[in-house]
Structure 1
Amino acid sequence: MRADATARIAIIGFGLRGLGALEALSQRLEGTTHRIQIDIYEPGPFPGAGPNFAPSEPEYCLLNIPYRDIAIRPPRGSLVGSFADWQGHPVNPDEFPSRADMGRYLEARRVDLFGQGFTKTDAKLTLVRAHVKRLTQEERGWRLHLENCAPALYDEVLLTLGQPSVEPDDQWARWQRHAAKTEGELAQAYPAAELYTHAAEWSGKRVAIRGLGLSTFDVLRGLTVAQGGHFDTVGYHASAREPACILPFSLNGQPPFPKPKDETLDALFEPLGSETEDFAQAVSAAVTATPETASSLISAALAPVVTRILEAQDVTKAEVLKWLATEWSAPGSQDRQTPMETLRHGIELASGQTVPTIGYALGQVWRKWQDEWRSGFNPRQVAPETARVLVAFDEGLKRYSYGPPLSSARELLALIDAGRVDLSFAANPEIAETARGWTLKAEDEDSEVSVIIDAVLPSPDLHSINVPPLPDLMAKGLVAPISDYLAAAIGADGTVCDQNGSPVPGLCLLGRLALGSVTAVDSLHDCFGQSADRWAEGVVQRIME
């Protein structure tokens, strides 16, 4: 590009991943004199935070990370400071903050970035409140076709779309058709503020929740504490405005295991420096290996750590390796407890009332190694077969590594004890349609519900996305999945690869829609990590050529 020309960059979608990318770009451009126009396209009301961290969401929607583990450092020169410092008051390092509070912090970083983050560059920023309807590739770059605006031409385009709207899966679509002609009602877990407003009309009704993951805990609070109930040391005290009964269910019926209650207990699972180095080397080798060799390399790095941690229980390395071998081939199959048993056992593990199991210890170690895992996987071009195996292993361990706060698990138990939640139908119930809604069936029991809430995060299936601009890019072959079970193919710096595997000049993508090219993407820290920096470095190199 000519030195006297203005480079034009578009960022489409500006939640926290877009913010992380723009912060990284500000650092890479510092001290340069090239003229650059950066336009950020985000029609939503909370640029920098996005819908998942909207400051308008209820305070009961919690992060699954305690203060002590939040390490999204602001860019050099930022006036905002760390999340803990920004609070302006002492925080309990073992507490889990609300997503809304994190959203307010991210908005503060966005305001700071727009105000003074690019002062040492010749870049100008514009926030455009418009939907991008279509992208067309031209000889001079990419033309963005906008809703109610004139088209605009750019040298570089970054897609940070988060999780776009998708076509409903077959089950949900069937229920939608049924609800349209009966008294049954369907709802989404988010926005949580909308859900608890709707829930005011469900007093005395029986409500089912599809999903038993992290979002389910937000839904439960929306149906209970948001309706006037409250928890204390005795248990849950109802307000008489809640649903009569809440029935969560999932494919396996297993609630996630909560994280250790405090820093002292969590420290028991801390890997040694030498163990972390060995793991990083194992990941580096695994991403270039066959699926079988890759799994063996990762297991060989994990087993000694878990064996050391569980030494007091006389757990052998052979036992850990056996557990891992089963986990690789059949994730979750070793969790044979009933949903209630799993919930109670998880509370005992997280509170230190019982000794750690192999699975729980592995999950905590895996959580602590997420940065090393991403660093070894994400910059590499991993064969689809190997990527599928490694990603599936990481996703499977999330039942341990991405668990909720201990308080959330205890609240669920309190709701069960109070008769407000029933896990009898939690494990993949048969669901029949009725005139008033649906009937859940399990063994010799059944229960009719009039409302089903969807608390399942869609998979990053590119073919299911039903909003622009991605479907058109896929139809043209400019964006393509790595394989049938993985998401978009991208290079180390986020450059999109077309259906033939060739880089698409000037078009990049970051985030969960590239799962398989990258891993562990559903993480706050990943949005502000090395992937964003590699993208920024690549953009700067190209526009300075």
Structure 2
Amino acid sequence: MNWGGDMRAKDMARIAVIGFGPRGLGALEALSQRLRETGRRVQIDIYEPSPFPGAGPNFAPSDPEYCLLNIPYQDIAIRPPQGSAVGSFADWQNKPFDRDDFPSRADMGRYLEARRDDLFKRGFTKSDAKITLLRKNVERVSQEAPGWCLHIENGQPAHYDEVLLTLGQPPVEPDAQWASWQAHAAQSTAEVAPAYPAAELCDRASEWQGQCVAIRGLGLSTFDVLRSLTIAQGGRFDAAGYHPSGREPACILPFSLNGQPPFPKPQDAVLDALFAPTPEETAHFARAAEAAVCATPQEATANINGALAPVVTRILAPQRVNDTQVLDWLATEWADPGTQDRQAPMDALRHGIALAAGHAAPTIGYALGQVWRKWQDEWRAAFNPGCATPETAKHLIDFDEGLKRYSYGLPLSSARELLALIDAGQTDLSFAVDPGIIETSQGWMLGVGGQQVEVSIIIDAVLPAPALSNISVPPLPGLITKGLIVAVSDDLAAATEPDGTLRDQSGSPVSGLCLLGRLALGSVTAVDSLHDCFGHSADRWADGVVARLRNARPAE
């Protein structure tokens, strides 16, 4: 699939993009705005074998409509590039919608594909560029002066000046627990299954009527799994609760290490506005965050707390919450996230619903999490240019990750569905808190506090950590082995420059080899946000490419 005019191979700069989901799309949209500055002819080759280039598997347009984003329409601000004919996500809709509703991931995927088609059709018309989409796997990337060589599955090697890796979360080696369960399932009648693709899980679940199913994980993905096991099997929700079809599993048992479901977001814009920081507070936070990133872990804590505590105290003034109480809460959060407000799973679920519906006064944690959510752009802008030491980076990222139970909350409707499934006897949180699990001839026995239940299926709804050591899918392992991709530290992912250029084992930039996204966690933060794919990280990468291509000669 080619777009653009014919060009002679030897007088053009060549760019390869390996992996083409939203991150790759955002990067090329940013580059399309800048290529004229290079004064060079440019060939861009995209290597993406999946059926949904531009959207990727997480936003596959073929996904069931019940798989929802955790962002309401009113908060989706994925700005299209200048000159785009597609417009914003809201403008693109060809159906009525409520700004407080949460769209499906499939709907977002269709929008991203529209952005992709527009980019390919008109995005590079103002520059001397040609773009080609290749449905091929890249098996290996090697450094061959003056550029890079891609070794292609069932194809000839290809040479490039620039290579961008935007692979999202590639498959990883299973952790020890999951590997043991896979082995047990292979030798018995038990089954294990991944949460995604959701359509495949739905098909498998049609054979699980009357069986007990456990779900490893109690995060956002669990709620997609619950729908695959219930409404996708013919059940339905209404104001009275859940009405089973009879084709569901006999029981569904989610569990996690702490058994805490995520907190729902406020149900509408009116409630959400109660947590809005003022422009002055936001400006103060931006300065504090910049200072925190370049400080020691202890100084970083003080900077972040100094910006957060006054805002939360103001918001919670009707409850007479003071700065000392907020700072005490934050002290526990930095040291041991979540332990200061942990409840029994059912209590946590009901309390979260009451908070999101405005039926309970906001807690310190809930208010803080909503403020942190509203400051994500400022947080990325402070962290991602990259001056944090590994110790400070880990400290700050752990804080951000811990607050995701509030800041990355689910739709209130999803929490209410879980409660309805529990009330209908379809789902049970009695085994939600780190159950003991032992193998049986038919599956596994889950045990908590003297209670036991046998399950024959376990579904994995846990997103793996972006650990470089667990990645086995080409072309990353070869680059890691050669020391061209190196972790920031044992607990973080790849070390990169602000523009995504990788740092090698000596700490030096690897010119022309860049990585954006989740596998750079530690060099950047808040990488799981869709908005980040179309933000300043993409702009910095595009600026870096233009600067290098302006001065470099093409690869032969």
Secondary structure of 2:86's aligned partner: coil
Partner of 1:331: 337
- 1:444 Cα offset (Å): 1.2
Partner of 1:226: 232
Secondary structure of 1:110's aligned partner: helix
Partner of 1:408: 414
Partner of 1:132: 138
Partner of 1:356: 362
- 1:89 Cα offset (Å): 3.4
1:381/1:492 contact within 8 Å kept? no
Secondary structure of 2:182's aligned partner: helix
- 1:32 Cα offset (Å): 5.4
- 1:258 Cα offset (Å): 0.2
1:271/1:305 contact within 8 Å kept? yes
Of 113, 116, 119 in structure 2, the residue corresponding to residue 113 of structure 1 is 119
Partner of 2:14: 8
Of 59, 74, 81 in structure 2, the residue corresponding to residue 75 of structure 1 is 81
TM-score, normalized by length of structure 1? Answer: 0.99
Of 43, 46, 51 in structure 2, the residue corresponding to residue 40 of structure 1 is 46
Partner of 1:236: 242
Q: Do structure 1's residue 504 and structure 2's residue 510 form an aligned pair?
A: yes
Q: Do structure 1's residue 307 and structure 2's residue 288 form an aligned pair?
A: no
Of 470, 487, 499 in structure 1, the residue corresponding to residue 493 of structure 2 is 487
1:381/1:491 contact within 8 Å kept? no
- How far apart in 2 are the matches of 1:5 and 1:97? 45
Q: Do structure 1's residue 521 and structure 2's residue 527 form an aligned pair?
A: yes
Of 96, 99, 104 in structure 1, the residue corresponding to residue 102 of structure 2 is 96
Secondary structure of 2:459's aligned partner: strand
- How far apart in 2 are the matches of 1:466 and 1:432? 29
- 1:31 Cα offset (Å): 6.2
Of 196, 203, 207 in structure 1, the residue corresponding to residue 209 of structure 2 is 203
- How far apart in 1 are the matches of 2:113 and 2:297? 42
**Which letter maps to 1:226?**
A
Q: Do structure 1's residue 186 and structure 2's residue 188 form an aligned pair?
A: no
- 1:336 Cα offset (Å): 2.5
Deviates more, 1:81-90 or 1:379-388: 81-90
**Which letter maps to 1:367?**
R
Deviations 1:377-418 (A, max 9, x none): 001221000000000000000000001000000000000000
Secondary structure of 2:340's aligned partner: coil
Of 400, 405, 419 in structure 2, the residue corresponding to residue 399 of structure 1 is 405
Q: Do structure 1's residue 276 and structure 2's residue 282 form an aligned pair?
A: yes
Listed as ranges, the matches of 1:256-295 within 5 Å are: 256-295=262-301
- 1:33 Cα offset (Å): 3.9
Partner of 1:63: 69
2:86/2:114 contact within 8 Å kept? yes
Deviations 1:513-544 (A, max 9, x none): 00000000000000000000000000001001
**Which letter maps to 2:265?**
K
Deviations 1:417-471 (A, max 9, x none): 0000000000000001000000000001000000000000000000001100111
Secondary structure of 1:175's aligned partner: helix
- How far apart in 1 are the matches of 2:497 and 2:249? 49
- How far apart in 1 are the matches of 2:321 and 2:36? 52
Secondary structure of 1:324's aligned partner: helix
Q: Do structure 1's residue 433 and structure 2's residue 439 form an aligned pair?
A: yes
Secondary structure of 1:507's aligned partner: strand
Deviations 1:22-62 (A, max 9, x none): 00000112465420000000000000000000001000000
Deviations 1:37-88 (A, max 9, x none): 0000000000000000000100000000000000001100000111111112
Aligned residues: 543
Secondary structure of 1:135's aligned partner: strand
Partner of 1:29: 35
Q: Do structure 1's residue 463 and structure 2's residue 469 form an aligned pair?
A: yes
| CA shift in 2, pair 1:517/1:32, >3 Å | closer
- How far apart in 2 are the matches of 1:510 and 1:332? 30
Secondary structure of 2:543's aligned partner: helix
- How far apart in 2 are the matches of 1:334 and 1:489? 33
- 1:300 Cα offset (Å): 0.7
Deviations 1:342-389 (A, max 9, x none): 000000000000100000000000000000000000012210000000
1:32/1:121 contact within 8 Å kept? no
- 1:183 Cα offset (Å): 1.2
1:31/1:120 contact within 8 Å kept? no
Of 147, 151, 160 in structure 2, the residue corresponding to residue 145 of structure 1 is 151
TM-score, normalized by length of structure 2? Answer: 0.97
Deviations 1:113-143 (A, max 9, x none): 0000100000110001100000010112000
**Which letter maps to 2:496?**
I
- How far apart in 2 are the matches of 1:30 and 1:322? 53
Secondary structure of 1:477's aligned partner: coil
- 1:180 Cα offset (Å): 1.0
Secondary structure of 2:341's aligned partner: coil
Deviates more, 1:31-40 or 1:217-226: 31-40
Partner of 2:554: none
- How far apart in 2 are the matches of 1:91 and 1:449? 40
Secondary structure of 1:345's aligned partner: helix
2:214/2:253 contact within 8 Å kept? yes
- How far apart in 2 are the matches of 1:197 and 1:88? 30
2:68/2:105 contact within 8 Å kept? yes
- 1:90 Cα offset (Å): 3.3
2:37/2:550 contact within 8 Å kept? no
Unaligned segments of structure 1, at least 5 residues: none
1:30/1:118 contact within 8 Å kept? no
Secondary structure of 1:145's aligned partner: strand
- How far apart in 2 are the matches of 1:165 and 1:451? 21
Unaligned segments of structure 2, at least 5 residues: 1-9, 552-556
- How far apart in 2 are the matches of 1:426 and 1:358? 25
Partner of 1:173: 179
Secondary structure of 1:153's aligned partner: strand
1:32/1:122 contact within 8 Å kept? no
- How far apart in 2 are the matches of 1:303 and 1:222? 41
RMSD: 1.0
Deviates more, 1:32-41 or 1:476-485: 32-41
Deviations 1:207-259 (A, max 9, x none): 00000000000000000000000000000000000000000000000000000
- How far apart in 2 are the matches of 1:33 and 1:476? 33
**Which letter maps to 2:488?**
I
Secondary structure of 1:269's aligned partner: coil
Question: Percent same amino acid at aligned positions?
Answer: 71
Deviations 1:143-168 (A, max 9, x none): 00000111100000000000001000
Secondary structure of 1:334's aligned partner: helix
- How far apart in 1 are the matches of 2:548 and 2:507? 20
- How far apart in 2 are the matches of 1:195 and 1:390? 36
- 1:335 Cα offset (Å): 2.5
2:37/2:546 contact within 8 Å kept? no
Of 410, 421, 428 in structure 2, the residue corresponding to residue 422 of structure 1 is 428
Secondary structure of 2:548's aligned partner: helix
